Every structure is written in C-alpha cells, then in structure tokens.
C-alpha cells in the first residue's frame, strides 16, 4: 500500500537565514489544509526552505538521472554542507525538524543543518512509538512507511513527485523517469529485481560491445601488420579494401536503424492523424446527410429507401455511388429541382404546400455550415493522407536502404572469405593462429551476449507485470488528468497512455515500457497534436502539465493523501492564467488529505487571491509563511520592508476576481 508524505509541521532552529519573527532563532510552521504560501522577495530563502524540507526527508543523497544504467549505485551523495555554506558560522548548531504523516503514522525527522546528519527520527501511531538514530534504520523505516521496496525509490518519489523545485525535475516529459516511478509505486516487490536485471543487461551489453571494439582493433592491427611485413599483393589489398567497405556498411546500418526508429514514430503519428481525420469526415458527412434528410424528407415521399439513400449521397456528398464518380452537375440539378419545388426524381412540378418542406433560413444556414465543415474536414483529411503517404514512403525507403546495405555487407563478407582462401598456405597458417585468438575473443563476446539474453528473458515477465499494473490505473489517471487540466488550459489537453519501445542496452531486444504522453490542440496544427518534448509547448504549459501530472499521481496512487511542494509556481504565468493556477491549487488542496506548499514572490494579479480562495479574508494570513518577517532581510529589504508588508496585506485583502 503506497502512502505519500503529508507534511504537517516544519521547525528550523538556530539557522541564521531564518531568525524567526521575534529573532529567537526559531521558525515554526504548522501546516494544516492548504494551500500554504511561502512569500518573500528574491534572496530571502524561499527556495532554500523548500529544499530544506526535501533534505530533511531524504538526507544528503540523490538518485542518478533517470535512464537505463549498469550495475553502479543509484544513490549518489550530495554536498552535505549545502545549508552550512549559506550562512556565516557554518550552521554548526542549526537543526531542522519535519513532521510528516503517512496514513495513521506520524514521522518526525530531525537533522543537523550543518552536515545533514540524522539526529533522530521518531515514529508514532495509535499504539506504538519508536525512536531511530541511524541513517540506515531511518531509510528502512521511511521505505516501509511509503510502501516502496528500496530507499532509492523513496528518493525518486520525493524528487519526481512530491517536490517540484527550482531544478524542475521532469516527469511527464521524461519517459525513463515515469518508468522508474511506476516501477517503484505499482510493482514495489519487483522494483529491485527489475533494476538488477536492467543493470545486468546494460553491463553484459556494454562488456560485449567493449570486447567487440577490442576485437576490431586487434583485427585491424593484424591486417596492418601483415600488410607491412609482407609485400602487399593484390589479394591483400582487396581484402583490406573489402574489410573497410564492410565496416562502413555496418556503421551505415546502425545509423539507418536510428533513422528508421524516428521515421516509424512519425509514421505512427501521421497514421493516427489520418484515422482521426477519416472519423471527422465521416462525422461531418453524416451530420450533413442528416440535415439534408430533414430537408428532403417530404420531397422523397414515396421513394424507396435505397433510392433515397442514393439521392442523399448525391446531394450531400456530390458523389454518385452507383458509378463511384464525382457528380456535381447532377447534384446541382437535383438541388435546383428541390429548390424550385419540383419532384427531385423526375423534375415535374409538384404542389409545394403538400409535398415539399421549404427550406427555412435557419435550416439553410445549418446546412450551409454543415457543408462548409464537411469541405474543411475533407481538405484536412487529404492533407493528413499526403503526410501519411510521405511518412510511410520514408519508412519503406529506409527499409529498402537497410536491405541494400545488408546485402552489400553479405557480399563483402563472402568476398573476404573467398579472397582469404587464395592467400598462400603459410600465410593462411599464420592467419589461422590470428584467427584463433580472434575467435577466443569472439567467444567472450558471445558469452556476454548470452548473459544479456538470459537477463532479457527474465526481465520480460517482470515488465509485463508492471505494464498490467499501470494499465489498471490508466483510465483513472487519464480521467483525473482531464478533470484537473480542463479548467486550467485554454487548449484541449489529454493525457494518453502510450507505452514506449526501447532497448535497455545499446544492442539486444526492445521492450515496451509503460509511459504517458500529452496531446494538445494547437492553433498552428490541425487536430490534437502529440507533444513528446518540452520544447513543443510554452514554458507555463510545460510547468503546469508537470504539476497537474503530479497532482493526479498523488490523487490516484496515493488515494488523495500527500503533499505537493512547488517552487515558483507563479513565475511563468500571465494575468489570466495566474488566477487559473491559483484555482488549481485551491481545488487540489480542498480534496482528500492533500496540501500544497508554494514558494512565490509577492506578485500582483490573481495568483495569491485565487490560491487562498477557500478561506475568508481574516484567515488568509494564517496560510502565509511570510519570510519578510521571519527571514534575515536582504539589504534592499531593510529599507523596503514596510512597503512590501503593506503590499502583502493589500493582496491578502483582495478577493479573487
């Protein structure tokens, strides 16, 4: 059972950056339901306070960057004097304490701010209480409290989910980070095995590649040496030339494989766009046919449904489905007959009042609008179709190129074998000895490959279990994301489950890894457009997609309990979106057992009023950690403090517009 930390209290003792309101060196903050705003000006220590929370919980470590790695440690030490160097005196006597709740259990952690060493950790629930004093015991405890299997996963959860700090660690754009997080949270019992096998695959693959490189060098050296010692004859020269070409083919094939991967992704996107285009055309055609049907129902009185259908197709799509040809003239003629109140089938005059619904202005406008939409959709589809054909052709062209290169490489290998047979017997003997050494190395390469394949077979089953676990929550995550994102973004945004295919080592097999990506409408492109990299969206979109994804994960995987800590949430927003962002945090904090801690500048606009919209004016100041009053003032603040304080009071007094 996964439980995310819900931060309840923070205390900082004798740390010179935060002397407290009365200068006693005590900063105490009790956090209930949020959002909580840490307010201050640049240099007052807003970001430092949030970092302090992170380091109190995790200690002086971080995890390596997300991605497949060999057998090296995931946990890496960080500078444990991080907080000490920020104040005079090295923070030797400064301590920090954080109280967090995991379900029914309350954990208190106290560390030195001089070295980040653990002073003590205390865990309490309804019946038991336990004191811990070693880092090792503490790590085991918090791992157990969070419900994950290893401390590395605790740090991952903190850095990729709970804390969204100045470094802007990515999750929604980093598919490797998503995999590691899902692995930790959804299959905790498999997490260590998955990581171990990943390490084995990467190490075996890397060893095989390194040996191959050595093998290549030895082969080259041997060939050069032989060519130097023996007078080069035509055969040797031809072998060397063929070997050079063979090497080039191998390199070209590797480069093409990468191009092919990218081309296949593009083709997939184009195909999706094409299918959606077809659906839109179909919808538009159906809508237009329906309007036509309404208009012409009376005109078709007495006509068989099949014939009605034929006429409808002719009138609405201007296509004759009897001969599958465009028939605009016939359609125009039918339309004319109808408009003139004549029988649409034979053209004879008929009594309008009995047989024909005259097409009212409203219906005419609807028909015209529906037809315009149909034309637009058709034009779009044609465009999508062209893009797909182009992308598909590109893939096949690359396949062709790969095939040609493989054939050429096989030719060269055959030629080399043939030419070597033509060398004198003595030279062949020497060559055989060289080949023997080379063969030994090749056997080593094969052994490593075999190790990699064994690990690959083992990891396949574990990855399948992880995929199933993610697929079970997929729909909930997609829906929850939609609920949070819809009121915030002007664009239509969707979170979509899209497993990525990747190799763990550079060689070897590909696997599917669970991952989500974002689709968003854009003024510049037609329809929903998949965004795979952060540079495909604006800065504020990038940040808020990350924040909303984290909210949704806390909500769905943590059963709506946990804290979200965000540094600088107001920085990238304009006047309109500042209010929407405030509403987003207010909404998140009012549901379940969640709270949000936001460090932000004293900004005009709607961000602060909207964030605190759940509270009456009189209660708003209780939700503020005002560093103007509790932190060591900067030089600028010494003179400007009254103005800033007045501004804070004014902003808190303002109702959301």
Partner 1 sequence: MIARTFDSDLRIRARVLQIMAALERAGATPISNRDLHSVAYLANVLSPIWDVEPLETSVLKDRAGPRSSAFEHEIDLCIGLGLLVVDALQPDADNPARLDATYRLNARAARPVLAAITLLPDEQSVEHFLNELAFAFVEIKPELRDDAALQDASWSNPAVSEGRIVDFGEHSQRAAVNPSYNAAQAFQRFAPEGIRLHRAEKLLMYVRLLKRRAHG
Give residues in contact with partner 1 (CB under 8 A).
264, 267-268, 271-272, 275-276, 278-279, 281-282, 286-287, 289-290, 293, 304-306, 308-310, 312-313, 317-328, 331, 375, 378-379, 382, 467, 471-472, 474-475, 478, 494, 496-499, 519, 528
Toward partner 1, which CB reaches closer, 157 or 327? 327
- Shortest distance, position 375 Cβ to partner 1, whole Å: 5
| Residue 3: both structure tokens together | 């439980």
- CA 508 to mean position of chain CA atoms: 25
Helix or strand or coil: residue 106?
A: strand
- Shortest distance, position 404 Cβ to partner 1, whole Å: 21
Q: Is 360 exposed, middle or buried (0-12, 13-18, 19+ CB in 10 A)?
A: exposed
Q: What is the distance between the alpha carbons of residues 234 and 247, in angstroms, rounded to a whole number? A: 20
Q: How far apart are the first and last CA of the chain?
A: 41
Q: What is the distance between the alpha carbons of residues 464 and 461, in angstroms, rounded to a whole number? A: 5
Helix axes 234-296, 305-317, angle to 10 degrees: 120
- Shortest distance, position 318 Cβ to partner 1, whole Å: 4
- Annotate 236-300 with DSSP letters as a single string: HHHHHHHHHHHHHHHHHHHHHHHHHHHHHHHHHHHHHHHHHHHHHHHHHHHHHHHHHHHHHTTTT
- CA 92 to mean position of chain CA atoms: 41
- Shortest distance, position 170 Cβ to partner 1, whole Å: 21
Toward partner 1, which CB reaches closer, 190 or 370? 370
Toward partner 1, which CB reaches closer, 278 or 434? 278
- Shortest distance, position 482 Cβ to partner 1, whole Å: 11
| Residue 508: both structure tokens together | 């070897």
- Shortest distance, position 494 Cβ to partner 1, whole Å: 7
Note whether 75 and 155 are within 8 A (CB): yes
Toward partner 1, which CB reaches closer, 146 or 285? 285
Note whether 42 and 601 are within 8 A (CB): yes
- Shortest distance, position 507 Cβ to partner 1, whole Å: 17
Toward partner 1, which CB reaches closer, 192 or 502? 502
- Shortest distance, position 304 Cβ to partner 1, whole Å: 8
Toward partner 1, which CB reaches closer, 165 or 310? 310
Overall size of the chain counted in residues? 657
Toward partner 1, which CB reaches closer, 268 or 341? 268
Helices (H), 422-525: 425-488
Note whether 380 and 277 are within 8 A (CB): yes
Q: Which helix (H) or strand (E) holds 13?
A: strand 6-13
Helix or strand or coil: residue 97?
A: strand
Toward partner 1, which CB reaches closer, 248 or 509? 509
Query: 598 pairs with which residues across the strands?
Result: 37, 566
């Amino acid at each position: 059972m996964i439980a995310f930390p819900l931060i309840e209290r923070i205390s900082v003792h004798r740390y010179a950056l935060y002397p407290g309101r009365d200068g006693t060196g005590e900063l105490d903050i009790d956090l209930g339901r949020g959002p909580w705003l840490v307010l201050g000006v640049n240099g007052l220590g807003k970001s430092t306070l949030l970092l302090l929370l992170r380091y109190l919980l995790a200690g002086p470590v971080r995890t390596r960057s997300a991605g497949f790695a060999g057998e090296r440690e995931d946990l890496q030490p960080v500078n444990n004097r991080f907080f000490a160097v920020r104040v005079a005196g090295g923070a030797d006597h400064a301590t920090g304490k954080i109280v967090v709740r995991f379900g029914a259990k309350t954990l208190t952690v106290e560390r030195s701010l001089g070295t980040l060493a653990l002073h003590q950790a205390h865990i309490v629930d309804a019946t038991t209480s336990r004191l811990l004093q070693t880092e090792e015991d503490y790590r085991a405890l918090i791992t157990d409290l969070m419900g994950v299997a290893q401390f590395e996963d605790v740090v991952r959860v903190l850095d990729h989910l709970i804390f969204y700090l100045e470094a802007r660690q990515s999750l929604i754009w980093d598919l490797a980070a998503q995999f590691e997080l899902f692995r930790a949270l959804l299959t905790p019992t498999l997490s260590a095995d998955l990581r171990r096998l990943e390490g084995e695959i990467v190490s075996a693959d890397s060893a095989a590649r390194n040996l191959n490189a050595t093998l290549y060098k030895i082969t080259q050296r041997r060939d050069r040496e032989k060519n130097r010692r023996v007078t080069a004859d035509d055969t040797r020269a031809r072998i060397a030339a063929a070997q050079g070409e063979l090497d080039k083919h191998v390199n070209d094939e590797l480069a093409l494989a990468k191009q092919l991967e990218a081309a296949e992704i593009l083709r997939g996107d184009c195909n999706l766009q094409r299918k959606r285009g077809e659906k839109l055309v179909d919808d538009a055609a159906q809508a237009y046919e329906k309007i036509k049907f309404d208009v012409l129902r009376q005109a078709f009185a007495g006509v068989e449904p099949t014939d009605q259908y034929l006429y409808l197709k002719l009138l609405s799509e201007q296509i004759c489905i009897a001969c599958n040809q465009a028939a605009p003239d016939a359609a125009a003629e039918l339309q004319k007959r109808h408009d003139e109140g004549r029988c649409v089938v034979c053209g004879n005059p008929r009594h309008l009042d009995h047989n024909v619904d005259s097409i009212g202005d409203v219906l005419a406008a609807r028909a015209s609008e529906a037809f315009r939409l149909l034309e637009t959709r058709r034009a779009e589809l044609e465009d999508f179709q062209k893009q797909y054909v182009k992308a598909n052709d590109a893939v096949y062209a690359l396949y062709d190129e790969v095939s040609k290169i493989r054939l050429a490489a096989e030719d060269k290998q055959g030629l080399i074998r043939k030419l070597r047979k033509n060398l004198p017997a003595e030279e062949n003997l020497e060559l055989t000895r060289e080949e023997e050494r080379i063969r030994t190395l090749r056997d080593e390469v094969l052994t490593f490959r075999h190790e990699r394949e064994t690990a690959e077979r083992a990891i396949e089953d574990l990855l399948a279990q992880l995929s199933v676990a993610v697929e079970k929550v997929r729909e909930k995550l997609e829906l929850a994301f939609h609920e949070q994102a819809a009121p915030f973004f002007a664009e239509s945004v969707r979170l979509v489950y899209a497993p990525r295919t990747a190799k763990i080592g550079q060689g070897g097999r590909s696997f599917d890894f669970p991952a989500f990506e974002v689709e968003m409408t854009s003024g510049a492109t037609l329809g929903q457009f998949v965004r795979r990299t952060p540079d495909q969206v604006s800065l504020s979109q990038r940040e808020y997609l990350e924040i909303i994804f984290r909210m949704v994960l806390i909500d769905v995987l943590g059963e709506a309990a946990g804290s979200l800590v965000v540094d600088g949430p107001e920085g990238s927003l304009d006047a309109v979106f500042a209010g929407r962002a405030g509403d987003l945090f207010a909404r998140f904090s009012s549901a379940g057992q969640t709270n949000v801690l936001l460090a932000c500048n004293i900004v005009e606009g709607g961000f602060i009023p909207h964030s605190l919209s759940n509270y009456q004016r009189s209660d708003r100041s209780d939700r503020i950690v005002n560093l103007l009053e509790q932190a060591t003032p900067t030089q600028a603040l010494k003179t400007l403090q009254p103005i800033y304080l007045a501004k804070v009071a004014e902003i808190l007094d303002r109702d959301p517009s």
